[in-house]
Amino acid sequence: MMKKRKNWIWIVGSSLLCLVGIGLILSPYVRNQAINQKAKTLRVTKQTKRQLQKNALEKPATFDFQEVKPVTNRAVLESYQNPPQNLSQIGGIAIPDLRIHLAILKGLSNENLLYGAGTMSEDQVMGQGNYALASHSLFGTWGAEHTLFTPLHRAQKGMTVYLTDLDKIYQYQIVSVKEVTSEHTEVLNEVAGKKLLTLITCTDLNATKRIVVQGELVAISDYNNNKDKIFQ
């Protein structure tokens, strides 16, 4: 009896996986939903401060933006079937006006950028210098407008962006939104006397241009005093 039950569970589980796989292959909408569901499981509220600090210090990372590949249905399907084991959450980002709530992950690996925002350099620190993050935009499909950094296409000056490492919440106000070509790496430079946040995503499938959203630090507060208002 127990053996039959196990066989039944295996058959049902395999069938569901096949159905999800077919959906991912045939439907970009299903792909987008799969990304969003996985992204929710990685949110900073699912982590501990100790684990974030450990990831920041110990997890290896790559920072080569040129090696980043576009999001494809196949990549999402492979990730769904073989979930990555070494995603390195080090914080979270929230932009309430754009409904962005993502994990911040260490580095620019394709796995990181498939489900969150990746840091663009090894030594960047929240609330200091120019803290730069990148993630994907998705195009031309229903549901894409709420996925990863796609909402940055609607960013406006004056909007508030929050970062957290589960110790502090760093509040930035957006001061510029612009399109640049890929060679304009000066947007990642530090600016004397300013504490900046730079968010980068592509403008099209061919990544011919980037949207660059920059904000300036306006406040720092304790995470435990404000978490329920921002990171839920």
How far apart are alpha carbons 127 and 148 in whole angstroms?
22
DSSP string covering 36-50: HHHHHHTSGGGS-HH
Residue 99, Ramachandran bin (φ over 0: left; ψ between -120 and 50: alpha; else beta): left
Place of tokens 């509220």: 45
The C-alpha atoms of residue 183 and residue 135 are separated, in whole angstroms, by: 17
- Nearest Cα to 144, choosing from 132, 152, 134, 156? 152
Residues near 10 by beta carbon (within 8 Å), at least 6 away in sequence: none
Active site residue 146: no
- Catalytic one of 101, 136, 146, 184: 136
Q: What is the DSSP string of 88-142?
A: -EEEEEEEGGGTEEEEEESS--HHHHHHSEEESSTT--TTSSEEEEE-----SST
In Å, the largest CA–CA distance within the chain is 72
Residue 136 falls in the annotated catalytic set: yes
Catalytic residue among 18, 153, 184, 202: 202
**Helix, strand or coil for residue 175?**
strand
Q: Which residues are catalytic?
A: 136, 202
